[in-house]
Amino acid sequence: MNIKSVLKKTLTLEVHERNVTLPVATIDKLAFGGNGVCRIDGKVCFVPFSCPGDSVSLRITAQKKSYSTATIDEIMIPSPARTNPLCSIFGSCGGCNWQHIDYDAQREHKRNILSETLWRGARVDLALIGDLVAAPMPYGYRNRLQFKVSVRNGVLGIGFYRQGSHQVEDAAEGCPVAAPVINQVLTRFRVVLQSYPDVQSISQLSIDSGDTGVIVIIHHGGKVTKKNRTYLVDQASNCGPCTGLFLKSDTNVPLEKIWGSSDISYVMNEAGSGDKQLVLTYPPGGFAQVHQLQNRAMLAVIRRLGAFAQSEHLLDLYCGNGNFSLPLAAEVASVTGIEGNADSICAAKYNMTFNKVANTQFFCDDVASAVCRLADQDCTFDTILLDPPRAGAGDAIAGIVRLQPLKIIYVSCDPGTLARDCGILSGSGYRVVTSVPIDMFPQTFHIESVTLLCRS
């Protein structure tokens, strides 16, 4: 029987003493969200944990008006792009969803997802999508992770929620995408928490590792007693390379330091001057990119697309701790950074002073409100750089347009909201020049990108 006839036939299996007809299909591509995509009777069908090129028999799990969902009953002909996952709990853990796909194929489909999304949402031509900046380390790269904690029948579990549930899948062997030092700390904390007096009250461990410093935050529900604190202080020498331990209760109280240092930092390069290194810090619990090698690669893409001149005035929206503002400051006349998170702005100001950057100023403000006030004051900026959260910059777009920058550099972690915002900007006199996908999150469907828009 040839492949074409295999793909067209259906299988009849005996299930619960009755015949059930299972459709057979070929997985065509991957979708944002992680699922494979095929067609059943002309309707799009989304299939988790499938791989483009797979020939599969499917069990339909849901029928919607315009699409269906299914699970794989049998992989009849596996795709050449299939590979063996490194993680023993892959498929049940709710974290990675592409470990079964060869990394070269992941790269190809991430670029395709970005290009298709930008075409649908903003009519950006495929020719304007740059080559994906691949990660040099597809495993062992994450320097920030949140591990869920549970105790069931007296057994401590530390890992991630299972697919579609709040039940913790124990990552007993660590996490393959985590930086090695994070797995070392996790192993030590498994032992420490076994005898913690109130372990049932712990919901999560957050572990951040920088170029210097490894910070752990214990998310703790309910009252933290003196006995709890004393135990954690006494265990400091048993926590391996951890340099600081903090407690975060479920109430709106500040982060509490138990022991050690709050310093966590990483290195970014300042262009020129022999590529001077800037040391940037961020507060425990604050935001930082999860893949520092790709963070630096993203800065290089911003530099290339921005082609900044010494006379330029740069506005950095959602600037965080100065992650891009401070390395770029040496290339322009001035940088103004705006961010709504007060802790991040405190870190940005500290980083500005520590690194002796003189032509930068930072303000804690709602970005959408701030850009409107800047426009009301007739402020001008040659370039606006923005790195909004996953929801995009929708509320700030009108103010950005009023400021009339020559260039907009949009850093995005969500192709859908990027396409929406580019569509709005294209109707306001800006055209997409190029969009460069960056693989910040190997083994997952997530895509970072840097898009350059210029005023027409």
Q: Which residues contact 263 (CB under 8 A, 6 or more apart)?
A: 212, 213, 243, 244, 281
For 78, the token pair is 């596996």
**CA pair distance 225, 232, nearest whole angstrom:** 11
Dihedral angle computed from the Cα positions of residues 105, 107, 112 and 114, in that order, rounded to the nearest 10 degrees: 150
For 361, the token pair is 């100023």
**CA pair distance 298, 437, nearest whole angstrom:** 9
Q: Which residues contact 237 (CB under 8 A, 6 or more apart)?
A: none
Nearest residue to 393 (alpha-carbon basis) of 373, 374, 370, 420: 420
The C-alpha angle with vertex 140 and arms to 136 and 144, in degrees rounded to 5, equals 110
**CA pair distance 416, 412, nearest whole angstrom:** 10
Question: H/E element holding 301?
Answer: helix 292-306
**CA pair distance 149, 239, nearest whole angstrom:** 17
Which residue in 45, 87, 96, 413 is the catalytic one? 413
- Helix 415-426 and helix 103-122, axial crossing angle in degrees, nearest 10: 30
- 413 part of the active site: yes
Neighbours of 239 (CB within 10 A): 21
Query: DSSP strand E in 210-325: where?
Result: 214-220, 244-249, 256-260, 265-269, 277-281, 313-317
On whether the CB atoms of residues 453 and 408 are closer than 8 A, the answer is yes
**CA pair distance 314, 302, nearest whole angstrom:** 12
Query: DSSP strand E in 399-443: where?
Result: 407-412, 430-438
**CA pair distance 266, 15, nearest whole angstrom:** 56
Beta bridge partners of 13: 20
Amino acid at 381: F
CA gyration radius, the chain: 24
Q: Which residues contact 362 (CB under 8 A, 6 or more apart)?
A: 319, 322, 325, 336, 337, 338, 339, 345, 348, 349, 352
Query: DSSP strand E in 82-201: where?
Result: 144-152, 155-161, 168-170
- Which residue numbers are catalytic? 413
